[in-house]
Amino acid sequence: MSEDAPAPSGGRPPPSGVLRRMTGRGRGEPHRTATPLELFFDLCFVVAVAVAGRELVHALAEGHAAHGVTGYLMAFFAIWWAWMNFTWFASAYDTDDVLYRVVTLVQIAGVLILAAGIPRAFEKGNFSVVWCGYVVMRLALVSQWLRAAFSTTGAERRTALKYAAGVSACQVGWLALLLLPGPAGPWVFVALVVAEMAVPAFAEMSQETAWHPHHIAERYGLFTIIVLGETVSAATVAVQSALEESEALDELLPMAAGGLLLIFAAFWIYFAVPIHLHLASNRQAFLWGYGHYLVFGSAAAIGAGIEVAIEQAVGKAHISTAAASSAVTVPGALFMFSVWLIHSRHYKRGLAQQLVLPVSALAVLACTFAGDRAVLLTGLVATATVGVGVGLSTRNPPPAEA
């Protein structure tokens, strides 16, 4: 094993050959930022997000809302949880040596296998390919935790071993989803989701891992940007396809404008506060981190909803206007409310600031019944929300970034 080199003033250890000792990075490390490898990891995850969104569009456009939403929630959990597993581990134990990079690339390969299995899971309830993708990712992740355990002692080692054991046990448990009859599938899924989310709480009872608040906040923010970017891409492709088959510009342009305004507002709303100042310990971080399932899932679903609304406008989706509009308004409202609930309410001063996002979420839901101008009206409500929020925060600003 190579000798550990001292960390530079920027906090990130220098490249150190093939192998270095894997110990906790430290929460007080200055200038901790996301790495190119982490950004590449996120970009590959968006492939899976795009596939899940496409399947949701097909289900909603065909009028199978219950099946589509259920399949989307299950598929998105698989995507999000795999991303979470790596993100928090990397914040605490990123060594950036050759072995770490290779194992991370193996995890990326597992993500792509997972993405390839999502259509089969959606259409046939067959999770075998998704499970295989998870096996690849989990073998890589468990090896990282075992490496961390080998490099540490005491409570830190016990924490790493608990993670390795918990992740392995859950992966074996997912076999039940493949072996049990169809009707039992959703209940098995819920039980295993609870087990998965209990692993970090159980593992960190001995000692909290050395995740970095600013780094974690940046990683979540970057993934939010990537998901919103995928939403923009999906909406753009939908408009382009509709224009090639229809000349209904009077319907498509307002939808495109409303969708773009909604996405711009979602970006603004999320990044309005310096959330890393709130992440002081696991007590805050667990709730905040887990709550992002709703934030990420609703952000990605907005793009799918815009596609459904466009397909309905040009006659390709045989559902009502209200049903198509709800594909945009429901995830838009959920995004606003979930961002307020887990994210921005910690920095809102006074009742007026606290009410902006919840009231706006209700207003967005009301747009469902605005007919063929529902998407445009949703975008205008979201834009007004940003304007009101900026005005109120100017009078009573949130705390400055550290």
What is the C-alpha to C-alpha distance for residues 78 and 131, in angstroms, rounded to an integer? 9
Element (H or E) spanning 72, and its range? helix 65-93
> Could you tell me if 228 and 260 lie in one domain?
yes
> Could you tell me if 131 and 188 lie in one domain?
yes
Tokens representing 330 are 């429901």
> Could you tell me if 166 and 221 lie in one domain?
no
Q: Is residue 327 part of a domain?
A: yes
What is the C-alpha to C-alpha distance for residues 260 and 164, in angstroms, rounded to an integer? 43
| Per-residue pLDDT band at 399 (split at 50, 70, 90) | low
> Could you tell me if 244 and 326 lie in one domain?
yes
Q: Match 């540490």 to its residue by tokens.
A: 152
Q: Which amino acid is at 302?
A: I
| Total residue length of the chain | 402
Q: What is the pLDDT of residue 371?
A: 87
Q: Is residue 11 part of a domain?
A: no
pLDDT by residue (tens digit) across 286-332? Answer: 888 999 999 999 999 999 999 999 989 888 888 999 999 999 999 99
Q: Is the pLDDT of residue 11 over 50?
A: no
Choose among 226, 296, 308: nearest CA to 54.
308
Q: Is the pLDDT of residue 401 over 70?
A: no
Choose among 310, 313, 327: nearest CA to 238.
310
> Could you tell me if 265 and 341 lie in one domain?
yes
Judge contact between 330 and 297, C-beta under 8 A.
no
> Could you tell me if 271 and 382 lie in one domain?
yes
What is the Rg, in whole angstroms, of the alpha carbon atoms belonging to the chain?
22
Tokens representing 361 are 């979420």
> Could you tell me if 196 and 217 lie in one domain?
no
Q: Is the pLDDT of residue 3 over 50?
A: no
Q: Is the dihedral angle over the CA atoms 58, 62, 65, 68 positive or is it negative?
A: negative
What is the C-alpha to C-alpha distance for residues 138 and 90, in angstroms, rounded to an integer? 14
Q: Is the pLDDT of residue 7 over 70?
A: no
Which residue among 203, 231, 251 closes a domain?
203
pLDDT by residue (tens digit) across 15-51? Answer: 446 677 888 787 778 888 899 999 999 999 999 999 9
What is the C-alpha to C-alpha distance for residues 8 and 320, in angstroms, rounded to an integer? 60
Choose among 106, 104, 114, 123: nearest CA to 50.
114
Q: Is the pLDDT of residue 14 over 80?
A: no
C-alpha pair distances (Å), 297 with each of 106, 153, 328: 25, 38, 13
Q: What is the pLDDT of residue 2?
A: 38
Q: Is residue 166 part of a domain?
A: yes
> Could you tell me if 218 and 360 lie in one domain?
yes
257: domain CATH number is 1.20.1410
153 sits in the region (left: phi over 0; alpha: psi -120 to 50; else beta) called beta
Q: Is residue 15 part of a domain?
A: no
Its pTM surpasses 0.85: yes
Distance of alpha carbon 102 from the chain centroid = 24
Q: Is residue 80 part of a domain?
A: yes
Judge contact between 375 and 325, C-beta under 8 A.
yes
Q: Is residue 88 part of a domain?
A: yes
> Could you tell me if 260 and 113 lie in one domain?
no
- Chain mean pLDDT for the chain: 87
Judge contact between 52 and 300, C-beta under 8 A.
yes
Q: Give residue 117's domain range.
A: 36-203
Which residue among 203, 235, 260 closes a domain?
203
What is the C-alpha to C-alpha distance for residues 78 and 85, in angstroms, rounded to an integer? 11
- CA-based angle 165:211:194, to the nearest 5? 45
Instruction: Indicate the number of domains in the chain.
Output: 2
Q: What is the pLDDT of residue 390?
A: 82
Q: Is residue 30 part of a domain?
A: no
Q: What is the pLDDT of residue 17?
A: 62
Choose among 387, 297, 393, 277: nearest CA to 337.
297
> Could you tell me if 70 and 149 lie in one domain?
yes
Which residue among 203, 235, 265 closes a domain?
203
> Could you tell me if 108 and 224 lie in one domain?
no
Judge contact between 79 and 45, C-beta under 8 A.
yes
C-alpha pair distances (Å), 82 with each of 69, 174, 235, 277: 20, 14, 26, 25
- Which has the higher per-residue pLDDT, 101 or 251? 101
> Could you tell me if 224 and 198 lie in one domain?
no
